[in-house]
Amino acid sequence: MENHQLQLLVEKISISFFGKPFRHMAIFNPKLRSTGGRYLLGTHNIEINKKYLVQLGEDELIGIIKHELCHYHLHLEGKGHQHRDQDFKELLKKVGAPRYCNQLPEAPKKRTAKRILLYECSQCHLQYKRKRSINTSRYVCGKCRGKLVKIKELILE
């Protein structure tokens, strides 16, 4: 589906579910990552995440479009268009739009191993845990000003 097809779909959904025309632009925005779509208050345009169409199908896309059109029409009418507003919640129910979109089934990101460096004061034996290396010739113990010595490096998975 291309941007012009998305535009036609949004206009069709706007007329059939809201009884009002959509007079602005609807486009796919490849930069959207964690949301299905967004309504831009300044331009009144709607941006949609194409990944939701590809991975979850057209039904999910239609739900996202209805949700964004709720923001659009309520904002233009000067009514409560935010998620917390009663007008918004009622319009979502009326048109059968989801309050939130489903999560994308992408593979979870691999966790990287944590590196912990352990330093100890050579005089008072106070230990310091750090994530980043310390220049031991430049820094001293905060308690007694003794020399710091690197004891070990732990890697936690």
Cα–Cα distances in angstroms (integers) from residue 76 to residues 3, 39, 73, 116, in the given order: 23, 12, 5, 54
d(CA 128, CA 126): 7
Judge whether 58 and 46 are in contact, CB under 8 Å.
no
Candidates 11, 58, 68, 120; catalytic one: 68
d(CA 65, CA 28): 11
Active-site annotation holds for 68: yes
Sign of the Cα torsion 10, 11, 14, 15 reads: negative
Which positions are annotated as active-site residues? Answer: 68
